[in-house]
Structure 1
């Protein structure tokens, strides 16, 4: 299984320190972005309005803070369908969509999270679906949510949202990969499409480490050991990979920009893999 700290050999404490610093960089920009939205009900992000995205972000801050604090978190099955159900329920119960109010709420919740995270001494905490995670992985998950949904809001409102490589690397290596390792191997896949898919990818994150991703008929597992018998090697800019895997951009964009490269005996399997992955 993949280590719970960054591939660079950083301890969980080091990763938490980096994640808290990244959140202190990103959150003020995110709060300003939400506050500047002219009308959170007019611009859309898929089926959600900008107001829905901002409210959802506040809910993520709340349950990630509760997780690190050792408090109960919502009952959820961490799959695309399971999280869609939980998110819809939370949004239905929360009628607030005014940008200034949501910006203030996110800012206050971010301060609370940083305070709770600074005092956490637990080796692991209980996250959604009972997954046991180091507190740093929860912090990096929160960072990933801020980066992705900041990208969503900026795109819907015509504003820039640059993502620093180090922030994206923390989000992927410190958050997404430990989540994949901690959750059931079926959680991140579309089971109908993944039924017969088998592949082994060596993922090399630029500025970070390498991970072996093993897809085997509906399951996804990770291995930090040296990749053997791989179908393809994938070198990726962390921000580009994050947006690609979460479905925010198509494969041709990072390929043309040189932010993604793949080679090996079956590099075409990368495109197939992107149809199989279904992040919660």
Structure 2
């Protein structure tokens, strides 16, 4: 984890500055997604960063008891509900104020995690357990995904370098699955079939994720697999969050599906999925 931990701490302030500049440079009332304006999108990211300043504190505090009570019961399919609740209780929509709060919260997150063990876990949505490194990677990914939303809507460039995207896969997705996914993936259809998917990228550590009877686990590479997925981290995350279609990503060569039973990837991804709420203005 050490290389990705160093990487995520390096890219977090860089992505924060880029996202904050994007927010300040555009009309806050402009639509960024089918549901949110630019200001709403920025506010969503700010609430996550602010939450992490309390989650990562030496003695975590309950900033909002109403929201805290909902967090342990959230699943991937109900993330939209808690996002709506949080945005309804957070009223700031001024771009300059949002950008300033985001920069301050990220600086606090970095200060709080200086010298910490990146593999120490903290409670997350759905009673899951996420390593500290994964928390920082999740925050980076929120800005990358929602920055993509804003930039696409207003016609601005928004590159997502692999170095910025890769920690989310290694530290958050794999990190959470190694520890405890809680009830986060509950509600997906499941059967007795065992599906093993080998994930391979030049930017991440090789790993095999296994879905069996509705539960997902991590295996070291080398064993038998049904699907081999070669991926560019940015492309994979945009697909997982419903921003780019699988066919488009495959046609560009950024997702490469092979193996004995490649069709099982679709069943795997119906269970091991990410929230696709706040969809883009038009989907690919």
With normalisation by structure 2, the TM-score equals: 0.84
Helix, strand or coil at the partner of 2:234 = helix
Aligned pair partner of 1:147 in 106, 119, 144: 144
Instruction: Work out whether 1:94 is the aligned partner of 2:90.
Output: yes
- 1:134 deviates by 3.3
Residue 122 (structure 2) aligns with: 126
- 1:63 deviates by 1.6
Aligned pair partner of 1:213 in 209, 216, 226: 209
Residue 49 (structure 2) aligns with: 61
Distance 1:198 1:248 in 2: 28
With normalisation by structure 1, the TM-score equals: 0.85
Cα separation, partners in 2 of 1:118 and 1:151, compared to 1, 3 Å: same
Aligned pair partner of 2:32 in 33, 38, 44: 44
| Number of residue-to-residue matches in the alignment | 266
Deviating runs (4+, > 6 A) in structure 1? none
Cα separation, partners in 2 of 1:21 and 1:244, compared to 1, 3 Å: same
Instruction: Work out whether 1:21 is the aligned partner of 2:10.
Output: yes
Aligned pair partner of 1:244 in 213, 224, 239: 239
Residue 164 (structure 1) aligns with: 161
Aligned pair partner of 1:135 in 132, 137, 144: 132
Distance 2:213 2:121 in 1: 30
Question: 1:189 touches 1:277 (CA, 8 Å); kept in 2?
Answer: no
Task: Give the CA RMSD over aligned residues.
Answer: 2.3
Which 5+ residue runs of structure 2 have no aligned equivalent? 63-67, 276-284
Question: 1:19 touches 1:140 (CA, 8 Å); kept in 2?
Answer: yes
Question: 1:28 touches 1:107 (CA, 8 Å); kept in 2?
Answer: yes
Residue 257 (structure 1) aligns with: 252
Helix, strand or coil at the partner of 1:97 = coil
Helix, strand or coil at the partner of 2:56 = helix
Distance 1:186 1:112 in 2: 29
Question: 1:190 touches 1:278 (CA, 8 Å); kept in 2?
Answer: no
Cα separation, partners in 2 of 1:268 and 1:121, compared to 1, 3 Å: closer
Residue 111 (structure 1) aligns with: 107
Distance 1:41 1:263 in 2: 44
Greater mean deviation of Cα atoms: 243-252 or 81-90: 81-90
Which 5+ residue runs of structure 1 have no aligned equivalent? none
